[in-house]
Structure 1
Amino acid sequence: MSVDRAVLVFAGMMIFVSLLLTHFVHPAFVWFTAFIGLNMIQSAFTGFCPAASVFRKLGLRSGPAF
């Protein structure tokens, strides 16, 4: 799996988890969802993604997932 795909999977999982927390635990967890969205937007503009840095350190490679 490439870093790009891992970041997409991770972001999707975090959004799903935050929505479950919002529904089943407390409505204030919606701010967690907002934080994830804002992080995705800043990553699109700056090119810096903390999750991608972690995945690279874990040994995932950049480029196509072949």
Structure 2
Amino acid sequence: MTVDNGVRVVAGCILLLSLLLTAWVHPGFVWLSVFVGVNLIQSAFTGFCPAAMILKRMGLT
């Protein structure tokens, strides 16, 4: 798996988890979804993605 695919998998999992937590625990968890979305947008413009850095350290290419 490439780093790009890994980032998409991690972002998708966090978004789904956030939506479940928003529905079942507390509406404030919607801000986790907002954070993930904003981070994806800023990484598209800047090229800086913390998730990609972590996945590279974990051994993805």
Q: TM-score over 0.5 for the alignment?
A: yes
1:10-49 residue pairs with structure 2 within 5 A?
10-49=10-49
Q: Distance in 2 between matches of 1:53 and 1:37?
A: 17
> How well do the aligned residues superpose, as a CA RMSD in angstroms?
0.5
Larger radius of gyration between Structure 1 and Structure 2:
1
TM-score, normalised by the number of residues in structure 2: 0.96
Q: Give aligned-pair identity as a percent.
A: 57
Structure number with higher helix proportion: 2
Q: How many residues are aligned here?
A: 61
Helix, strand or coil: the match of 1:22?
Answer: helix
Contiguous gaps of at least 5 residues in structure 1: 62-66
Which runs of 5 or more structure 2 residues have no equivalent in the other structure? none
Q: Distance in 2 between matches of 1:49 and 1:22?
A: 25
